[in-house]
Amino acid sequence: MSAVLNPSVGDELPRLVIEAVDAGKMKTMAALLGDSNPIHWDVDTVRELGMGDQPVNQGPNNLGYVMNMLGDWAGGAERIQNIRVRFVDNVFAGDRLEAGGTVTAIGDDGTVECDVWLARDGTHPVLAGKTTVSLA
Amino acid sequence: MTSATQTPTIEELESLVGRQFPGGTYAVEPWRVWLTNDVIGAPQRTDGIAHPMFCYYAAMAGFGISIDEMFTLCYASADDGPMFGECDIQQMRPLKIGATYTVRGKITSAVRKQGERTGTFDIVAFQLEVVAPDGEVSSVVSNSFIFPRRS
């Protein structure tokens, strides 16, 4: 059952807030993915590369937050038919993130198109894209 | 650290289009789903449906070569500073926890661009299909990499 009965073009999707990205979970994901890139778990490497002093979150994690926001709104992430995104900046451990979106079109078949985004502190974009979600 | 890779000719670059990946399989294992949901803050579902990020994980883990091998195929290495371009995920049918999917795919485009600040770079796009045990395509994942090239 969809949580949304009657969306309109221009509606803002309810935002999802991640209060602080967890460095420990980056380590778990690195192990799950077999991701050998040390920027996700070795602060010394991040410093040597001049990228700051916190581990860098995996890009798929950032996309996962946006999918969670869509799933909360639409009544389940399986309702996401398509999502196309660009990763425009890094997310670091400790960052506060907000995921959100705006309804841009409504189809006759029960699908809804939205612009979606993920932003540090709700203002600095780190991911941007478009999605089609089924509310039928 | 190895030296940067020699820039391919346009002909070499364009010859990549249509190149098939070896392909492989990916099992959506329950323990992996639980840990992934925990990492990204998704609910632990009891209906057997995997988070849509598993479309991406299945495609990237099952297409038959590593990311480093993909870079080599594209006349590059990690030392050249390749960047992830766009990611497009179509979810036709949610992936099911416990099922094993077949992954197949190919390179769909390879183009050279010139930026004022960035100089020469190539964009190589590839498409991966995640196929369910019944033969139906459950998901199509399209990604691109951006390869900076020496002038």
Task: Please name which of B109, B110, B131, B138 lies closest in space to residue B62, comparing C-alpha atoms.
Answer: B131
| Residue B18, Ramachandran bin (φ over 0: left; ψ between -120 and 50: alpha; else beta) | left
Whether A3 has a pLDDT exceeding 60, the answer reads no
Q: Which residues pair with A12 in a beta bridge?
A: A102
Residue in the block written with tokens 């509310």: A135
B46 domain-assigned: yes
B74 domain-assigned: yes
Contacts of A98 (CB under 8 A, 6+ apart): A15, A16, A17, A18, A118, A119, A121, A122
Please tell me what DSSP assigns to residue A79: G
Percent of all residues in chain A with a pLDDT value above 70, rounded to a whole number: 96
- How confident is the model at residue A51, as a pLDDT? 84
> Looking at chain B, which residue has its C-alpha nearest residue A86?
B86
Closest Cα of chain A to B2: distance in Å? Answer: 16
- How confident is the model at residue A122, as a pLDDT? 84
A43 domain-assigned: no
> Looking at chain A, which residue has its C-alpha nearest residue B144?
A86
- How confident is the model at residue B42, as a pLDDT? 97
Residue in the block written with tokens 């416990």: B98
What values do phi and psi take at A21, rounded to 5?
-65, 130
B2 domain-assigned: no
Residues of B with Cβ-Cβ distance to A85 under 8 angstroms: 86-88
* Residue B136 neighbours by CB distance under 10 Å: 9
Pairing status of strand B83-91 against strand B137-148: antiparallel
Q: Could you tell me if B97 and B28 are in contact, meaning their C-beta atoms sit under 8 angstroms apart?
A: yes
B125 domain-assigned: yes
B118 domain-assigned: yes
Q: Which residues pair with B109 in a beta bridge?
A: B125
Going residue by residue through chain B, which has 151 residues, state the pLDDT in tens, using 9 for 90 and above: 444 578 999 999 999 999 999 999 999 999 999 999 999 999 999 999 999 999 999 999 999 999 889 999 999 987 787 888 899 999 999 999 999 999 999 999 999 999 887 789 999 999 999 999 999 999 999 999 999 897 5
Q: Can you tell me the ipTM of this complex?
A: 0.93
The one-letter code for the residue type at B7 is: T
- For A32-75, the pLDDT digits (tens) are 988 888 889 999 988 988 888 999 999 999 999 999 999 999 99
Whether A90 has a pLDDT exceeding 50, the answer reads yes
3-state DSSP call for residue B67? helix
Check CB contact under 8 Å for B39 and A61: yes
- How confident is the model at residue A2, as a pLDDT? 46
- How confident is the model at residue B98, as a pLDDT? 98
Q: What is the CATH number of the domain that holds A126?
A: 3.10.129.10
Check CB contact under 8 Å for A33 and B49: no
B115 domain-assigned: yes
Check CB contact under 8 Å for B87 and A77: no
> Looking at chain A, which residue has its C-alpha nearest residue B58?
A33
Closest Cα of chain B to A7: distance in Å? Answer: 22
B69-97 in b/e form (b: 16+ CB < 10 A) is ebbeebbbbeebebeeebbbbbbeebbbb
Residue to mutate among A35, A68, A97, with most B CBs inside 10 A, is A68
Show which of residues 3-32 on chain A sit within 8 Å of chain B, judged by CB atoms: 18, 25, 28-29, 32
Whether A5 has a pLDDT exceeding 70, the answer reads no
Range of the structural domain that residue B124 is part of: 10-148
Q: What is the CATH number of the domain that holds B22?
A: 3.10.129.10
- How confident is the model at residue B86, as a pLDDT? 93
**Largest CA-CA distance found in chain A, in angstroms, rounded:** 53
Whether A1 has a pLDDT exceeding 50, the answer reads no
Range of the structural domain that residue A84 is part of: 16-22+57-134
Task: Please name which of A94, A91, A78 lies closest in space to residue A118, comparing C-alpha atoms.
Answer: A91
Question: Nearest by CB to B89, which of A32, A65, A82?
Answer: A82
A73 domain-assigned: yes
Mean pLDDT of chain A: 93
Check CB contact under 8 Å for B51 and A25: no
Domain tally, chain B: 1
Check CB contact under 8 Å for A67 and B94: no
A81 Cβ under 8 Å from any chain B Cβ:
yes
A1 domain-assigned: no
Beta strands in chain A (DSSP E): 16-18, 80-87, 97-106, 111-120, 124-134
Check CB contact under 8 Å for A77 and B40: no
B3 domain-assigned: no
Residues of A with Cβ-Cβ distance to B42 under 8 angstroms: 64, 67-68, 71, 77
- How confident is the model at residue B1, as a pLDDT? 41
Question: Nearest by CB to B56, which of A29, A60, A86?
Answer: A60
A113 domain-assigned: yes
Domain tally, chain A: 1
B73 domain-assigned: yes
